[in-house]
Amino acid sequence: MTERSSSGEAVTDPKLSVTGLEKTFDGITAVDGVSFDVQAGEMTGLIGPNGAGKSTTFNCITNLIEPDAGSVVFDGQDVTGLPTHRVARTGLVRTFQIARELREMTVLENMMVSSKEQTESAIHAVTPGLRENVRTEEEAILEQAWETLEFFDIEHVAHEYAGTLSGGQRKLLELARALMADPDMLLLDEPFAGVNPTLEERLLDRLHALTDQGYTFLIVEHDIDLIMNNCVRVLVMHQGQLLAEGAPETVRDDERVIDAYLGGEAAQ
Ligand SMILES: Nc1ncnc2c1ncn2[C@@H]1O[C@H](COP(=O)(O)OP(=O)(O)OP(=O)(O)O)[C@@H](O)[C@H]1O
């Protein structure tokens, strides 16, 4: 929904709105009242020194970790406390590292099991008369899987076991798998960790292409330069709180941000 502000500017509802998020582990406050918005079709970066609370914030958004307080509204729908798979069904999907059992499956099989429709097909398969539909659905899923693998240039490893992929190829597969769930918004936790420069460039190129198509991204990443150079908006966390937010050039010069990094983890 687009409204007009008093000055006549277009005001668009945020894609994701996090308000007052809190999480404490055994007396350690990991997330301490964090609030922020992410706008549709934008790539937003979430940075901060080690232990700042980035991963916990991420995990609370999709309810992988249940927050103690706060709300998460996605596309105008309150998804706070919904099971992670139901949050995914609303279009808010996070990437996961390829789990041990999935490493023993081929890349293509990984794609197939990740598809949202796959679960629905299983229900249809037990209903007589719907088998024809299932076949068509499965063909569509297979086509989507190949197209997505081609988009990431990893179709040549489709029949390899996922466990044999390089670190960079595995990151591309993680993203490709997430896309099979037909998301609107993707949460990426350190998508560039262990990725060589060539694949990093490819991954960035694809992320920008997806953003141009209208996908929204929230990316936790240790490589600050990478976030500053590629995100339109940056959120900085420190000691469980949101320390600064804004355009990269604004955040980069913020004294509080400089102090937070110099004070602890300047080497990152
Ligand atoms: N499951 C847990 N049990 C206990 N404490 C935890 C747990 N998860 C996180 N913490 C603590 O919460 C704080 C925030 O951790 P979190 O992993 O969210 O930070 P981060 O910014 O993602 O750090 P990093 O960049 O090192 O991954 C840290 O002090 C951490 O030790």
Task: Give tens-digit pLDDT for 199-258.
Answer: 899 899 999 999 999 999 999 998 999 999 999 999 999 999 999 999 999 999 899 988
Cα gap 140→151, rounded to integer Å: 16
Residue 58 sits in which domain range?
11-91+183-268
- Quick one: pLDDT at residue 125? 53
56 CA to middle of ligand 1, Å? 6
Sole residue written with tokens 């990094």: 261
Bridge partners of residue 32, in order along the sequence:
22
132 falls in which pLDDT band (50, 70, 90)? low
165 and 137 in one domain?
Answer: yes
Nearest residue (CA) to ligand 1, atom 13: 30
6 pLDDT above the threshold of 80: no
Q: Is residue 85 domain-shared with residue 136, that is, in the same domain?
A: no
Indicate the pLDDT class of residue 267, thresholds 50, 70 and 90. very low
pLDDT for 82-120, tens place per residue?
999 899 999 999 988 888 888 899 999 999 988 865 555
**Residues having CB within 6 Å of any atom of ligand 1:** 25-26, 28, 30, 48, 50-56
Are residue 169 and residue 248 in the same domain, yes or no? no
Are 107 and 164 in a shared domain? yes
Enumerate the H helices of the chain as residue ranges.
54-61, 84-89, 100-103, 107-114, 116-125, 131-151, 167-179, 197-212, 224-230, 248-252, 255-263
Q: Is the pLDDT of residue 265 over 50?
A: no
What is the count of structural domains for the chain? 2
Q: Are residues 17 and 85 in the same domain?
A: yes
Q: Are residues 106 and 129 in the same domain?
A: yes
Pick the atom of ligand 1 nearest to 55's CA. Answer: 22
Nearest residue by C-alpha to atom 31 in ligand 1: 51
Which of 166, 182, 198 corresponds to the end of one domain? 182
Q: Whose Cα sits closest to atom 11 in ligand 1? A: 30
Residue 85 placed within a domain: yes
Q: How far is the CA of 232 from the centre of ligand 1 (A)?
A: 26
